[in-house]
Structures are given as structure tokens and as C-alpha cells.
Amino acid sequence: MGGVGAHRRDRDQVGEVAADPRHHLVEGGGEGLGGRHGATLPRGRGRRPVPVGGLGRSGQDGRVRQGAVGQVRVVRVDGRELVEKRFADPVRHDTEVQALRALAGSGLPVPELVAVAPGSVLMTLLPGERVDGLDASRQIAGIGASAALLHELHRLPPPTGLPGPPDDARTIHRYREAGGPPLPLRIPPASGRVLCHGDWTNGNLLLSGELVSGVVDWEAAHVGDPLRELSRAAYGASRDDPRRGEALVEAYGADPADVRVWLPLHAAELWLWFREAGPPEYLDRLTRELRSWPA
């Protein structure tokens, strides 16, 4: 693969980036790619290319994101537009790297790693638009079309070394200790042990025409239960439009009853997330919804 320093930009290439209206040059280095571990910049410049407004037309991410994952943006290296992703959590960094290495050559539309550095990665830029930014009918079509890829992912042999499944017993305990609305919480019987994406949502799927052209953000990949992953994806997809979750489950070929038994657990996960990290209005809305959950 070679070191990150091998992706060297000369003065002309830095000028090319500066001339691109989607980029500007900022002072400073940093610990990620393009900084201390990154591509070498011309001596004395101390500057690196940064996109204006996130990943722009690619749709791989419509904004620069901060938080548990870190930061995602487009950079230009040796004339190529690539995605630079930084991680605040080293475990998520290592998980994404291991998952993408395991998926190389699988035929699934995932980014290809170009370079890896402590706390950051450089990967190929995939075509397409984020499904969550499309109109309602295309969102339904996009999440439905992704089911074949999710099924294919679950048929791959899980690599060694990835994290295990989420601790559902701990989630139930934390939810009850936090005073969440009553839910019929239980852990359904396991249906298998497969490679899981961990966050299969419209925001992590790219659509080109009628085809899913990219599945991104693999930092939550793990070895877990396929029905757990499918039901989590269906629950998230159904939050604003139940037709999206129905399209995913139907296209995957699962029994809706097997999916439904997992939904209270995913509702509890989301409630805990909003309680700890989300805006108060999101938590208030979800709390009202869960109070009317069927017993």
C-alpha cells in the first residue's frame, strides 16, 4: 500500500487545489492525513487542501462531520480526488480499516483504501448521491435496492478480529436504569453469526440512477446477528416513512415477524442515544412515541 508520505503534492498541485472553488487552503497541520501523518506539502507553505462545505458533489457525505467518528472531507492527491476520514476513536479507525480490507475484492461497492495512518485513512471517492437526500420515492427505491447488498454482505465469511455483537443485555439494563418508557424488551434468539455493517442507513448508502453505487462508513462493523442488523436498519428507515422499512425487509426476504421482535431493543438504543448525545427535542419526541408502544 505504501506510506501516506508517498502521496506527495508539488507546488502546481497545491495551486490546482486552491483554484478549485470547492477547496481553500488553511494554515496548520494536524494529526491526520495531510497533517503530520499526511501528504507532504511544499516547504514553507504549512497548508493543506480542505473542502468547502463537506464532500460536495460526491454525496459520500454532504457535510464535514464532527463527533465520535471525527471528520470526513475530500482532498486532492496527485490529481485524484480522494476521501480523507479522521477518527477520534482509535477502535473505530481500526475497525473501518479491517472491514474495508476484508471487503476488498468482494464485489460490494465499498471504498478502496489508499493509505492508512494513525487516526486517519485515505480512500477512494465513490459516485452517487446520499439516499437520505433524495425525494421520498427514490429513498424507498434506494433502501429497497440495498437489501440485495446487505444479504450479500451477510453471506460473506466474517473476518477474525472484528468486534463482537453489541451488548444487548447491557442496553436493556441501561435503558431501565435511565427510566425510559416501558417497552417489551427481550433479546431474541440468535439467527446466525455474520459480518455486519453496523449502521446500515440511508445516510450511508449512495445511489446512482437505480443502482446502489456505494456503502460507506464501516467504523461500526462487527460480527453479529443478521436479523438484528436488518431490523435495526428497518427501524431507522421507518422513522419518517414506514414504507422504507417495509421495502427493505421485503427485498431482503425476511419474515416481518422475525424483524418486529427486535424493534423494542432498537427503540431503546435510539432513546439512550438521544438522551446522551441528541438534541432534547429529539428525545422528547421519541419519549412520546415510546409511551404508546404496544405492550
What domains lie within the chain, and their CATH numbers?
A: 4-124 (3.30.200.20), 129-291 (3.90.1200.10)
pLDDT score, position 42: 28
Q: State how far the Cα of 216 lies from the Cα of 197, in Å rounded to an integer.
A: 9
pLDDT: which is higher, 264 or 210: 264
CA angle in degrees (0–180, nearest 5) for 96-99-105: 130
The more confident residue out of 127 and 23 is: 127
Q: How confident is the model at residue 295 (pLDDT cuts 50, 70, 90)?
A: confident
* Least confident stretch, 62-71, 132-141, 239-248: 62-71
Confidence at residue 70, expressed as pLDDT on a 0 to 100 scale? 59
SS3 270: helix
pLDDT digit string, tens, across residues 67-105 = 345 588 899 998 899 999 999 899 999 999 999 999 999
**From the CB of residue 161, how many other CB atoms can be counted at a distance below 10 Å?**
10
Helical spans, DSSP H, in the chain: 11-19, 90-103, 136-155, 168-177, 226-238, 242-252, 256-260, 263-276, 280-291
What pLDDT does residue 197 have? Answer: 98
**Low-confidence winner among 56-65, 190-199, 259-268 (lowest mean pLDDT):** 56-65
pLDDT at 278: 82
Whether the CB-CB separation of 52 and 58 falls below 8 Å is answered with no
